[in-house]
């Protein structure tokens, strides 16, 4: 297994660790999570730990694609597993946020539905021996989602000081881009979806 694929697997392994850090009942375990003050805003240590882990996952996403292209190590596994790892990482974070009412569940549902449809299109294409890799809109979607998650984990700092709801802006931008990229995938795969045998 080459290094880019190892980085993809590393990103997948990070996900249950992030979930554990986020949902662990610290108070019940007698663990006091400190908070850090930035003016009138605070960030808990839990958010900081998850933020670091999430950034590691996000950086590994950039590195695996970059290294695969630079060293000519693009593989079929990488084309499939890389977007799956991205979706698992970002979707997990959005579900965790929605479960604690930090964000609305509506954009999360839309993005999950989009991912299911796109995965179905990819499955149909792969049955025709066609590998559909991520296009530019899909990459923009992933980057905007990652930036949104980072801003949420930082409690919208520094934008909160300027009364700019940047987390909400990025969330809905990600949703719109998600829909647009889903339409793009549909247009790529509609020949395989509607073909008759």
pLDDT score of 134: 64
Name the more confident of 48 and 40.
48
Annotate 69-99 with DSSP letters as a single string.
HHTT---HHHHHHHHHHHHHHHHHHHHHHHH
pTM score, two decimals?
0.89
Q: Is 13 exposed, middle or buried (0-12, 13-18, 19+ CB in 10 A)?
A: exposed
- Nearest alpha-carbon partner for 8 in 74, 69, 83, 73: 83
What CATH number does the domain containing 75 carry?
Answer: 1.20.120.1760
Provide the domain count of the chain. 1
Name the more confident of 40 and 176.
176
Q: Which domain holds residue 97?
A: 3-194
Is the sign of the CA dihedral 70, 75, 76, 77 positive or negative?
negative
């Amino acid at each position: 297994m080459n290094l880019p694929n190892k980085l993809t697997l590393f990103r997948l392994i990070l996900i249950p660790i992030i979930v554990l850090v986020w949902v662990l009942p610290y108070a019940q375990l007698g663990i006091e999570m400190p908070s850090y003050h930035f003016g009138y805003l605070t960030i808990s240590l839990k958010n900081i730990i998850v933020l670091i882990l999430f950034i590691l996952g996000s950086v590994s996403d950039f590195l695996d694609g970059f290294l695969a292209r630079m060293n000519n190590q693009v593989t079929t596994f990488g084309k499939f597993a890389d977007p799956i790892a991205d979706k698992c990482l970002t979707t997990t974070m959005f579900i965790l946020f929605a479960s604690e009412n930090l964000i609305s569940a509506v954009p999360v549902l839309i993005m999950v539905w989009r991912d299911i449809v796109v995965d179905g299109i990819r499955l149909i294409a792969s049955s025709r021996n066609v590998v559909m890799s991520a296009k530019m809109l899909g990459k923009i979607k992933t980057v905007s989602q990652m930036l949104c998650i980072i801003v949420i984990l930082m409690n919208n700092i520094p934008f909160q000081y300027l009364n700019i709801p940047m987390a909400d802006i990025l969330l809905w931008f990600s949703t719109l881009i998600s829909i647009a990229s889903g339409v793009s995938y549909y247009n790529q795969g509609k020949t395989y979806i509607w073909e008759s045998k």
